[in-house]
Structure 1
C-alpha cells in the first residue's frame, strides 16, 4: 500500500523488521558522521530514526532517552543499542553497536599504534569546526523535541526547572536529579494527558533474560576483581578496570575520563601525556567518546596491548551499560503502560528537553562559540538542518571547512 507516512507525533507502527545488515548500514553512517559528543548523538539519532526512517515516534524516543539517562554507561550508545534491538532483535542490537562504534574505535586504535597527533592550525581549526557542528545539531534537537515534548505550560515549566538544575549543579548526579524531579512533577502535573499506545515500543527481551542480564552485571562487577587478584593475569585486570569504569559512570561521555585516568594512569599502565593525547584525539572522532578505551588498551605498556588490548578494553567498557539496559527494558516496557507511569514519563521527557537545552549552553555553546564568526557558522548549520533539511554529513563538511578556513586566515 502507498498510504501517506504518519506525522512524527503519531505512534509509528512496527510493520517492518530490519535485517542486521540494514541496521548496521544505518548506524555505520552515523558512526562515520556523528561528531559532537553524546548530546549531539541524540540529535543525530532523532533526525535519522524519528524524522527520516520513522523507526520510533517522538514520544517513544524521548522515553528511551530518559531511561538511558537514568542508567550508568554511555547513554547515546545505549539508545542506539535499544533502537537496533527493537528493529532487528539481538543481532540488530549488536549490528547497531558495531556500526556506531567501529569507525572511531579503529581510528583511535590506529592513532595509538602510530603515536601521532593532529597538530597545527589545520588540526585546531578542524576540531573547532566539529564543535560548531555540535552546536547546530543540539540546537536542532532542542528545537524539535521542545515542540513535541513540552507542548503545554506544565511540561515547559518542568523543562525549565530541569535546565536550571543542570546549569547550577553541573554533575552526573544533577542530571539524575533533574530527570527524577521531572518524573515526580509529571505524576503531579501531567495526569490529564491521554494514555498513549505503548505496543510500538515493545522490545524482544523476556523478563527471564532481563533478570539474567542483571545477575551477570553484578556477578562480573564483583567476581572479576577477585579473579584478577587470584590469578594475576593482566588481561583480567585490564577487563575489570574498564568494566568498573563503564559500570560506575553516570552521564557518559566526558564523565568517564576521570575514572579511566584513575584506572590506567594510576597503576602506571599509561603515561599522563599519552592519556591526554588520546583524549585530544577522541575529540575529533565521530561516534561515542567511550571508544577512547580502544586507544588506551592499545597504547598501554603491559601486555595484552595493541589490537588485543584495544578489543578487551572496548568490550569491557561498553558491556556493563548494555547488560543493565537489557535487564531493565522488559520491566520498564510493562511499567510504562500504566497511566501513572506515563504521567511520570511525560515529566521525565520534558526534563530531557531541559537537560538538552542546558547542554546546548554548556559545554556545547561555551566551548564552541568564541566570536561572531563561530556564531555565524553555527547559525548557518542550524538553518540548513531545520529549514533546508540538509543531511548531517554535509553540515560536518561545511563546519569543518569553515573552522579550518578561519584558523588559517
Structure 2
C-alpha cells in the first residue's frame, strides 16, 4: 500500500484491535434483523454514534460505494470499516466473519437435519416457509420498484428485464437483463443526475486495488471454464455461488433468482427445499447471503454438508469483498462520471424486473396452490409493508399457519 494514497477518511484514526472488531461485529451479527438497509442503520448507531469509529460523512461515503457495487451492501460496509479501523485486510476479514457467521451457524443445523424432518407437520411447516418467501419477495419487489424504478424510463427497463428473464431462463438470461439494463440506462437515465457529495479516500493503493479487480475478473472467468472441461463438482459449486454473488445489484433479495438458476435448475437442490430455506433465512439476523450456507449443506451432489456450506459461503461473499477493496482507491473519480451513474441506474432498474419474474416463477407457482395460500401470503405481505412487522414474526406466523391448514 502506498503512502501517497493515504486517506482523509482514515487519517488520525487510531487502530483498533482485531478482537475488539470481532466483538463489535459479532454483536451486530447476532442482533441485526431486517435486511441490508436495517443493517446499515444498526451499524450507524453502534459504530458512528456510540463507538465513534468513523464520522457521519465518512460513513455515508462508504455506504454510497457499497450500494453502487454488486454484492451484499451491509457485509461490504462491515469489511470496509474493519479495513479502515483494524489491521488492513485482517481487520476487514475479522469484521466480515464476525458479522456473517452467526446466521450461517443457525441455518446449518436446519439444513443438515432437513432429510429427517418429515411427516405431515413438517410438510405444513415447510409450506408455511414457502409462503413466507412469497410475502418477502413481494415486499422486496414493491420497495425496490419505488426506489429503483420510480419513473417511466426505468419502469420500462424493468419490464424489458422481466421479458428477458422469462424468455431466456437461467443465469444467462439474468446476465443479459442486467447488461441490457446498463446499456439502456446510458440512453434513458442520463437526465436523472444526482450530484455526488463527500470525499472518500482510504489507504489502499491503486496498484493493490487493480490487483483485487483482476482477481475478481479471473475468478469470474476461469472457474466456469475449468468446471466445463474437468467436470469437478467442487469447482462448479464455487463457480455457481461466486457468479451469483458477483451479479447481485440492488439488494440481498436479488440473490434469490440468481441462486435458483444455479442450484435448482441443474437439480442440485429441490425447489421445495430451496424456498423453505429462503423463508427460514428471513428469521435469522445478519446478511441474507448466509442462505448460501444452507444451500451448500443440502446439495445432492458432493461436496455438501459442512464442506459444501463452507465453499458456498466463501464463494458468494468473495466477489463483493474483492470489488469493494478494488474500487476504494478509484471511487472518487468514478462516481463523478455521468455515464457510470446512468448505467448503474439502468442496471438497478433491470434487477427489479429480474426479481419480479422470480416472484412469479418459482416463488408464486410453487407456494400458492390454494385460496388460503393466497390469503396467507397477502397477510404476510401486509404485515411487512403496512404494519412494518419484523420478518421473524411473519416467519413464525406463516409457518404455524402452514401447519394448521395442512392438518385440516
Question: What range is the shorter-chain TM-score in?
Answer: 0.5 to 0.7
| Aligned equivalent of 1:39 | none
Map 1:340-355; keep pairs closer than 5 Å.
Answer: 340-355=339-354
| Aligned equivalent of 2:297 | 295
User: Shift of the alpha carbon at 1:294?
Assistant: 5.6
User: Shift of the alpha carbon at 1:285?
Assistant: 4.6
Q: 2:259 aligns with which of 249, 253, 278?
A: 253
- Over the aligned positions, Cα root-mean-square deviation in angstroms equals 4.6
Question: Number of aligned pairs?
Answer: 349
User: Shift of the alpha carbon at 1:92?
Assistant: 5.4
| Aligned equivalent of 1:95 | 95
Q: 1:26 aligns with which of 28, 40, 60?
A: 28
Separation in 1 of the partners of 2:172 and 2:38? 28
Given that residues 108 and 297 in structure 2 are in contact (C-alpha distance below 8 angstroms), is that contact kept between their aligned partners in structure 1? yes
Given that residues 135 and 368 in structure 1 are in contact (C-alpha distance below 8 angstroms), is that contact kept between their aligned partners in structure 2? yes
Given that residues 46 and 61 in structure 1 are in contact (C-alpha distance below 8 angstroms), is that contact kept between their aligned partners in structure 2? no
User: Shift of the alpha carbon at 1:188?
Assistant: 0.9
User: Shift of the alpha carbon at 1:395?
Assistant: 0.9
Alpha carbons of structure 1 residues 324 and 193: separation in structure 2 relative to 1, 3 Å: same
Map 1:368-407; keep pairs closer than 5 Å.
Answer: 368-407=367-406
Secondary structure in 2 matching 1:173? helix
User: Shift of the alpha carbon at 1:246?
Assistant: 4.0
- The one-character-per-residue Cα deviations of 1:194-241 (angstroms, maximum 9, x if unpaired) are 233254887875533333334556489979x99xxxxxxxxxx99756
Map 1:6-25; keep pairs closer than 5 Å.
Answer: 20-25=22-27
**TM-score (normalizing by structure 2):** 0.67
2:43 is equivalent to residue 45 of structure 1? no
Separation in 2 of the partners of 1:66 and 1:332? 10
Q: 1:329 aligns with which of 327, 330, 340?
A: 327
Alpha carbons of structure 1 residues 191 and 215: separation in structure 2 relative to 1, 3 Å: closer
| Aligned equivalent of 2:77 | 83
Map 1:139-218; keep pairs closer than 5 Å.
Answer: 139-197=138-196, 199=198, 206-216=205-215, 218=218
Separation in 1 of the partners of 2:394 and 2:358? 20
Stretches of structure 1 that go unaligned for 5 or more consecutive residues are 1-16, 35-43, 69-74, 227-236, 263-274
| Aligned equivalent of 1:359 | 358
Alpha carbons of structure 1 residues 147 and 116: separation in structure 2 relative to 1, 3 Å: closer
Alpha carbons of structure 1 residues 327 and 196: separation in structure 2 relative to 1, 3 Å: same
Stretches of structure 2 that go unaligned for 5 or more consecutive residues are 1-15, 49-55, 84-88, 227-231, 248-254, 282-287
Separation in 1 of the partners of 2:380 and 2:305? 38
- The one-character-per-residue Cα deviations of 1:286-329 (angstroms, maximum 9, x if unpaired) are 253421476379x969xxx986x467645654465356434653
Secondary structure in 2 matching 1:400? helix
Alpha carbons of structure 1 residues 289 and 327: separation in structure 2 relative to 1, 3 Å: same
User: Shift of the alpha carbon at 1:400?
Assistant: 0.9
**TM-score (normalizing by structure 1):** 0.67
Alpha carbons of structure 1 residues 96 and 24: separation in structure 2 relative to 1, 3 Å: farther
- The one-character-per-residue Cα deviations of 1:96-145 (angstroms, maximum 9, x if unpaired) are 45544444446536864x79521011111111111111221222222122
User: Shift of the alpha carbon at 1:282?
Assistant: 4.9
Alpha carbons of structure 1 residues 139 and 261: separation in structure 2 relative to 1, 3 Å: closer
| Aligned equivalent of 2:12 | none
Separation in 1 of the partners of 2:318 and 2:382? 38
